[in-house]
């Protein structure tokens, strides 16, 4: 299910003294089945953009297409229900969205609200709690008696229980330690592969964008300024610097090595594994790797 935005603009509090322009002439395509990373400096429009992906916000101008559904300023609320079921959003600190008295009820809430039979919703919730690595017996506990990391997994289970075709992740590792961050990101990668979902990651981490994404969108000043595969985006360091964005640590190290060895810049190595292979080959050839 492709997602496209055509000439999309959005103004908060339009027509009031407090109006603020957040998006301007955004034209992007998120291919079905892709793992797309959206990057940009604070205030670039990333968070406003992601809220258009499941119609939490409707565009002030332009058209958002989610599969076969068109969303414009005139689209009525009842027409948006299928989109909100197809596109699940995991916001920053999703554990703050927990509210039910038990974990099981919290995870079942979304499916029940969309008419899924209770036994089916229960089976789906229990399956997801196991898939997310929560201990046996967690289902009947209060979500507020869990650790922070467990609460986050419960909140993620609640989004996945809707069985979305598209999963939008808004800085999903905020506040986690490095070990917890890697676990969560690897989990999302596995879900992406196993469930054949479209995954959209909004992130400040160039490392996460480089490691997990196969498509990237760069936002600046409320509009899209670059789209393409990670190798292309991170290969254009001059443009990224203009938008106050850096490159992954692996690419920064690679460039330092190439300057020190007198080598011309080569395609960026986006992961530690790629960088290690490149350095080994370069050293083995006396600095002559390309």
* Segment 210-239, tens digit of pLDDT: 999 999 999 999 999 999 999 999 999 999
pLDDT of residue 287: 52
In terms of pLDDT, which residue wins out, 189 or 289?
A: 189
Chain segment 160-210, per-residue pLDDT in tens: 999 999 999 998 888 888 888 888 899 899 999 988 899 999 999 999 999
> Which residues, at least 6 apart from 71, have a Cβ–Cβ distance to it below 8 Å?
52, 55, 58, 59, 63, 64, 65, 80, 83
pLDDT of residue 269: 97
- Report how many helices (DSSP H) and strands (DSSP E) the chain contains, helices first: 11, 10
Alpha carbon distance 113, 289 (integer Å): 58
Alpha carbon distance 244, 277 (integer Å): 29
Chain segment 87-116, per-residue pLDDT in tens: 999 888 878 888 999 999 999 999 999 899
- Helices 148-160 and 103-113, axial angle in degrees (round to 10): 20
pTM of the model: 0.90
Sign of CA dihedral 126, 127, 130, 132: negative
Chain segment 39-82, per-residue pLDDT in tens: 999 999 999 999 999 999 999 999 999 999 999 999 988 889 88
Alpha carbon distance 243, 274 (integer Å): 26
Alpha carbon distance 267, 232 (integer Å): 9
Count the neighbouring beta carbons within 10 Å of the beta carbon of residue 92: 14
- Residues 66 and 122: beta-carbon distance below 8 Å: no
């Amino acid at each position: 299910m492709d997602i496209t935005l055509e000439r999309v603009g959005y103004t908060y509090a339009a027509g009031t003294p407090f109006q603020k322009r957040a998006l301007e002439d955004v034209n992007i395509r998120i291919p079905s089945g892709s793992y797309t990373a959206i990057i940009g400096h604070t205030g670039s429009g990333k968070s406003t953009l992601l809220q258009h992906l499941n119609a939490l916000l409707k565009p002030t101008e332009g058209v958002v297409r989610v599969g076969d559904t068109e969303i414009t300023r005139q689209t009525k609320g009842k027409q948006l229900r299928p989109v909100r079921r197809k596109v699940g959003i995991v916001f920053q600190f999703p554990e703050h969205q927990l509210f039910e008295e038990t974990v099981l009820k919290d995870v079942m809430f979304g499916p029940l609200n969309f008419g899924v039979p209770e036994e089916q919703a229960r089976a789906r919730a229990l399956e997801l709690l196991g898939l997310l690595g929560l201990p046996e017996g967690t289902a009947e506990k209060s979500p507020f008696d869990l650790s922070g990391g467990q609460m986050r997994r419960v909140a993620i289970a609640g989004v996945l229980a809707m069985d979305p075709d598209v999963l939008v992740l808004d800085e999903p590792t905020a506040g986690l330690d490095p070990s917890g961050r890697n676990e969560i990101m690897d989990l999302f990668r596995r879900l992406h592969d196993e469930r054949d979902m479209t995954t959209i990651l909004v992130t400040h981490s160039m490392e996460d964008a480089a490691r997990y994404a196969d498509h990237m969108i760069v936002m600046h000043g409320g509009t899209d300024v670059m789209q393409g595969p990670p190798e292309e985006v991170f290969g254009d360091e001059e443009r990224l610097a203009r938008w106050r964005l850096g490159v992954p640590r692996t690419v920064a190290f690679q460039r330092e090595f190439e300057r020190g060895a007198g080598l011309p810049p080569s395609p960026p190595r986006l992961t530690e594994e790629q960088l290690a292979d490149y350095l080994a080959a370069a050293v083995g050839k006396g600095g002559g790797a390309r």
